[in-house]
Structure 1
């Protein structure tokens, strides 16, 4: 397919990558107890999902039938039971290959919970401490400087009043910036220094910029240490590159490449055979196309067979770098819902899961005006009354509700994710079906 210039509104990297983190997350699931739902005949595996998940089924059909997106795959599972899959659409608009449980999606910030759980493993093993200063592992972070004015001058600085800790990295309270969030001189500085831990496309779309990430995870960490913080550590929740820096911490502590550590400790034990930082050429036939929503229309910005995810990344982006399948991510959620176990195999300890999916925010941190105001945050994901999860910038979202005993994932590909009411609409549809199930149970 040939690509041409389109008449379109401004489409910038910040707008594309910000939306996935706006997900309301598990709040809609937290109040529904497992005992109220699991006993119902409607929850038996293999039942027709269009009958027993009518709102979710209608939600999927609405957007795919209107060709607003190429596909949507939802994966819903109770406890350790096999998942129910509701899938519609094809890998790309105009193609015939259907999207399904084993299709490949750019999960962007849904990488963060995986990195967070990897860190929890090391905390559980005593190789890291939750409140350990990062400078004990990466000495360059020992004397950080902070902007006196948020997104202001990068030379009018003051010393950090307290050290950055592992807890801060996990919960976006380190005061670190993010090129997709910041504005002004510090955004320009990040781009000039290659502090760009993410990728969108090979295509020369001017609005996205062409900043290239610095080569190598430890080089990224070294350069990031030279950048000013945007907030004093531990004072404000601010979406950041904290989980990308956590990848460097994990690599330094273990002496293993970060991506190899994830494969050995999480992907292989969980049976996640389709999760990579780089998609193998042999698997491109499963890769979906990513779209930019321009003038209300989906336009290919990362077509599967020319995807940037077929290239070796500059380093494994622990905050937003993975491609995965709905089946694989559901297995990660199953492991969490099993408190560290899946298919009889112990992947991480129950304590590590319980702590990592609990509210780890530092005492007194300011959440006012943030994406998680009134909620909590754990190891890389939002925490809301018994639920844990996060979303991705290209329209994906996943969570576990420990109270309901439910795992839920929704996968599609478009940017920015707030251009369509899909990330927000999925939890709403889910809640409608759960409420109907509970009502039937009460009436029975």
Structure 2
């Protein structure tokens, strides 16, 4: 197991060391007062790790500390990996961003769109244009999540067994076919809604590449980048390294979530490109450095630099932000001043978002409060790992961004 290590003094890469210590001081309080069990934080600049810290417990009940080799469920931080896989195939000519998804998943032909009514008796109309690959990448396909609890179509997903995950024994192909029987929330390309779109994209990757999603990830992304601990399940011998999953206890403290937490301990029937991976700080750091390096790391190039720049631009129509174009629901990003690229949130106006960051910062996070951001203007990457659901519980992401940027002094 390769561990992430500090590679530069803070001052060498433009940080004030004392100001950078505020990151740990602040987030220790989350553990000390019982809001989080424990965490890992890593901050790098110009490709060199300048700050790395671990604090608290990976398992409160067992009394186990967070360590450098702790395994974390990264949930939706899987989405950028799936998006990179799709863009790798795009670069090879194996798919076009404008391709109808039905070219790869025939059940996605002739979709219907919700118009009115209840989950049990919806009125629908035909889709006026096909769902395309770029709709999946940008969450503008009209798909949804059952856990949103915001729309009759969300309820229809839940009635089919899709809230967190899906029915046991159903593989990715069957899952996509099941989603295709449900109406879209809106006409493709007309709105933004956080959804299972990246899971569908994972199936497109499988068909376009001729490989299962786990094979593609392992052969084309994880092995070249040295991400030896990232997978769709945790081997039995490594389960003591897996952080426990928690939810807030009403009135304070934490409650262990065992039902959802145990899913990662067995190979899944459905390979979720939208939220199925477990990883380590070392491994995900390698992925962020590849992106920060314009698609290349240590001589291994996954994407061309122009492709990385293209996918991390705001692709919402008319340059809109999520506040204008998105539905007011849970997502792994704030909405004001933030657009969306091909797999990432993208800051378009830090002033509108009241965020101490740069235009062009791209990021995403996961359901258990993990997060990363990459600021190309300042050449910064930062990651936060913990295991608290839902990620909207505390403003961890905005606070991490502020605490990292306030420490820059060059």
> If the length of structure 2 is used for normalisation, what is the TM-score?
0.86
CA shift in 2, pair 1:302/1:425, >3 Å:
farther
Looking at structure 1, the residues matched to 92 and 391 of structure 2 have their Cα atoms a distance apart, in angstroms, of: 37
Given the alignment, which residue of 238, 246, 252 partners 1:283?
238
Q: What's 1:367 paired with?
A: 325
Q: How many residues align?
A: 383
Q: What's 2:392 paired with?
A: 418
Q: What's 1:317 paired with?
A: 272
- For residue 355 of structure 1, report the CA deviation from its aligned partner: 1.6
Higher alpha-carbon deviation: 185-194 or 158-167: 185-194
- For residue 383 of structure 1, report the CA deviation from its aligned partner: 0.8
Given the alignment, which residue of 314, 324, 345 partners 1:382?
345
Q: What's 2:197 paired with?
A: 242
Given the alignment, which residue of 237, 243, 260 partners 2:215?
260
Where do 4+ consecutive residues of structure 1 move more than 6 Å?
A: 47-50
CA shift in 2, pair 1:151/1:427, >3 Å:
farther
Higher alpha-carbon deviation: 232-241 or 374-383: 374-383
- Is 1:127 equivalent to 2:94 in the alignment? yes
- Structure 1 gap segments, 5+ residues each: 1-39, 199-210
Given the alignment, which residue of 32, 40, 44 partners 2:12?
44
Looking at structure 1, the residues matched to 144 and 82 of structure 2 have their Cα atoms a distance apart, in angstroms, of: 18
CA shift in 2, pair 1:145/1:369, >3 Å:
closer
**Deviation per CA, 1:194-251, whole angstroms, max 9, x where unpaired?**
44563xxxxxxxxxxxx63561111011111111101110000111110000011111
**Deviation per CA, 1:232-279, whole angstroms, max 9, x where unpaired?**
100001111100000111111111101110111111111111111111
- Is 1:400 equivalent to 2:400 in the alignment? no
Higher alpha-carbon deviation: 417-426 or 328-337: 417-426
- For residue 357 of structure 1, report the CA deviation from its aligned partner: 1.6
Q: What's 1:32 paired with?
A: none
Secondary structure in structure 2 of the residue aligned to 1:113? helix
- For residue 152 of structure 1, report the CA deviation from its aligned partner: 5.8
- For residue 183 of structure 1, report the CA deviation from its aligned partner: 4.2
Secondary structure in structure 1 of the residue aligned to 2:81? helix
> If the length of structure 1 is used for normalisation, what is the TM-score?
0.80
Secondary structure in structure 1 of the residue aligned to 2:41? strand
Q: Is the 8 A contact 1:195 1:213 kept in 2?
A: no
Q: What's 1:251 paired with?
A: 206
Q: What's 1:53 paired with?
A: 20
Looking at structure 2, the residues matched to 152 and 421 of structure 1 have their Cα atoms a distance apart, in angstroms, of: 33
C-alpha RMSD of the superposition: 2.6
CA shift in 2, pair 1:192/1:302, >3 Å:
same
Given the alignment, which residue of 82, 85, 92 partners 2:59?
92
CA shift in 2, pair 1:56/1:248, >3 Å:
same
